[in-house]
Amino acid sequence: MLVRIIKSYRDIIVICDADLLGKKFEDAEFQLDLEKEFFKGEETSEEKTIGIMQHMLKEDATFNIVGKKSVNTALKAGIISQKEIKKIQDVPFVMVLA
């Protein structure tokens, strides 16, 4: 997984499966453009990513999470529920506004 923290008034945590970086997905309802500029982050283990997610949730961060591994990690971290997950071309994604 790639994890990037964008510092701003409300920090943005971008998490995506490494194999999806640079790809674009769309259907009639949604479009996901995993641009390298925005989604490229540090390769991070599941354990470290869970720690980052749980800490940043307490800091009132916003999350953009894309990919099966990344979304499953967010479920394990307890920051999302199954009902929040959307899919586009079988790629799960979720936005969390804490």
Task: Please state, as a whole number, how many other Cβ atoms lie within 10 Å of the Cβ of residue 26.
Answer: 11
Domains of the chain by residue range: 2-97
CATH 3.30.1860.10 describes domain 2-97: yes
Q: Given this model, what pLDDT does residue 3 score? A: 97
- pLDDT tens by residue, the chain, 98 residues: 999 999 988 999 999 999 999 999 998 888 899 998 999 999 999 999 999 999 999 988 999 999 999 999 999 999 999 999 999 999 999 998 86
pLDDT of residue 16: 97
Residue 18 CB neighbour total at 10 angstroms: 15
Q: What global pTM score does this model have? A: 0.93
The Cα–Cα gap between 98 and 9 comes to 13
User: pLDDT value at position 97?
Assistant: 84
Strands 62-66 and 12-16: parallel
